Amino acid sequence: MVPLGPLPRACWTPLISLLLVCCLLPPGAQGEFLLRMVPRNPVVPAGGSLLVNCSTDCPQHELISLETSLLKEEVGTGRGWKAFQLSNVTSDSKIFCSAICNGSQMSDSSDLTVYEFPERVELVPMPPWNPVGKNLTLRCRVAGGAPRTNLSVLLLRGEEVLSQQLAVGEPAEVTTTVLASRNDHGAKFSCRWELDLRSQGLGLFQNSSVPRQLRTFVLPVTPPRLFVPRFLEVGTSQAVTCILDGLFPASEAQVQLALGDQMLNATVVSYGDRLKATATATASAELEGAQEIVCNVTLGGESRKTQENLTIYSFWGPVMNVRGTIRNTSQPTVHQGTTVNVTCAAGARVQVTLDGVPAAAPGQPALLQLNATERDDRRSFFCSAALEVDGVVLHRNRSVQLHVLYGPKIDPAKCPQHLMWKERTIQILQCQAQGNPDPQLQCLHEDSMAQVPIGIPFRVRLNYSGTYYCRAASSQGEHTFIVVMNVQERNPLTVTIIMAVLTILGFVAAILASIYVFGVHKRRDIYHVNQGNHQENAGFPLTSGRPEGSHHLEPPAIGVHAQPLNHTSPAGV
């Protein structure tokens, strides 16, 4: 009897077919005995190994074997059982256990499933920026992984599941579409695979891709607003400003400001959806002429540009020059009688006008000649320059003051020759001298050489009377003017005597007037006439005391009645 050994690989296919036929036989054909395989429907990691046990309860069994296309090795045997080790399991397969019981064939089969994790999971790169309101397609690719029936692919925004689908194809690709919004700016999207083997008792396995960050933006269709000067003079600087509203996110926008081919150093600030860029434009000689300032705002790979025209011009002057001076500084000075030439000039294309007289042509200087007199001292000469730039006339003015040196002079109209003052009064000697430089003026008494104050209040004394020599002196000469001062006493002696005499006479007159008034009053009183008897007194009428022949008017007569005296006369009288 030839011992049984492993069948040649060429015999596996007929044997497997025979086993399949036997499996189709009804159980009664094999009796009541069974052949079992453990484990049932196993799940094995790819490249792993599996221990399979085939056993039967048939007491008269023969030839227990395991049929598979995988590498196998018998690792154990016993009464009614046999164990096999399967190694390097790389793909799904079906395995069979077979045996002969009482001359009949028995068999059992099981599905062996191989699982493996995906080799790679990747979220396809998104565009760097996505406009708000535009659909964004997310794509996830998963390479490898088995079994595919248990492998699903998820697309997530943060931890929010956007889509979950079974992995189909190799590599599996899953897509979904989202509508980009402002809230999606900065959001992280990722892709995750899940291998669910919980029904096989292994659990849920998963892995995620590297997250990708989405940036959304809003860029208005309107161009930026650019604020620039219309003109800029060579050598000067001025700020330019570029503003764009409705921008999101404004803080991430890029701004470029340029003057011609020169990039300007811009300072950019954002307020909400507003972007503001400010730079300083400096005009140089090589940029003279028509130029353009450009503002370019870039966000999300898109740009908005605007430009404004700027004219750079050169306008030096006007420059004034005074010739014939002894000092040609900011205050030109000449001697009286000097011929002075005043010129005013400016750059090309500039029309200058000197004291109202225009130059012969633009770019030509204006000239004024004069013979300096004292009336020209502190005279100002005015020069105006006009330059037309891009249809606009620009003006610039300058002036210079001429100083004429001339000798001192005292004006009689400003310095009285005769003064009549009273003693002990407060007076001011008003006297002025002209000249350039300003002369020193002092008035000295001809005898005492005493100096009297000029232009300030002082108390007049008797000894101030006399003749004064007022002298004005400067580096250009001197001038003397005579002033006569007559000081009168405040109260002379004759006036005092007259006042005393008049006072005494007034007093005497008052006394005499009082006596006269008193005497008249007494003559007009009532008198009582004393009479002895009626007969005796009948011959004594009252008469006027005025002499006869007087022509003075008499006052009306006053009735006088003789009243007897109440007294007793002596007997015999």
Question: Beta strands of 198-266 (E only): which ranges?
Answer: 203-208, 212-213, 216-217, 225-227, 231-233, 237-244, 254-259, 262-264
Query: Do the beta carbons of residue 180 and residue 132 sit within 8 Å?
Result: yes
Strands 254-259 and 231-233: unpaired
Q: Please tell me the distance from the alpha carbon of residue 237 to that of residue 241, in angstroms, as a whole number.
A: 13
Q: By C-alpha distance, which of 338, 374, 367 is closest to 352? A: 367
Question: Tens of pLDDT along 245-278?
Answer: 999 999 999 999 999 889 999 999 998 899 999 9
Q: Please tell me the distance from the alpha carbon of residue 167 to that of residue 117, in angstroms, as a whole number.
A: 12
**In terms of pTM, does the model score above 0.75?**
no
Q: Please tell me the distance from the alpha carbon of residue 182 to that of residue 485, in angstroms, as a whole number.
A: 101
Query: Do the beta carbons of residue 219 and residue 302 sit within 8 Å?
Result: yes
What domains are defined for the chain?
9-115 (2.60.40.10), 124-217 (2.60.40.10), 225-313 (2.60.40.10), 319-405 (2.60.40.10), 411-488 (2.60.40.10)
Q: Please tell me the distance from the alpha carbon of residue 509 to that of residue 411, in angstroms, as a whole number.
A: 58
- State the Cα angle at 345 between 401 and 356, rounded to 5°: 60
Question: Tens of pLDDT along 486-532?
Answer: 999 876 556 567 777 888 888 888 888 878 766 655 555 554 545 44
Q: Which range, 342-346, 391-395, 493-497, 533-537, has the best average confidence (pLDDT)?
A: 342-346
Q: Higher-confidence residue: 540 or 510?
A: 510
With tokens 């509508």, the residue in question is: 179
Question: Tens of pLDDT along 438-472?
Answer: 999 999 999 889 899 998 999 999 988 999 999 99
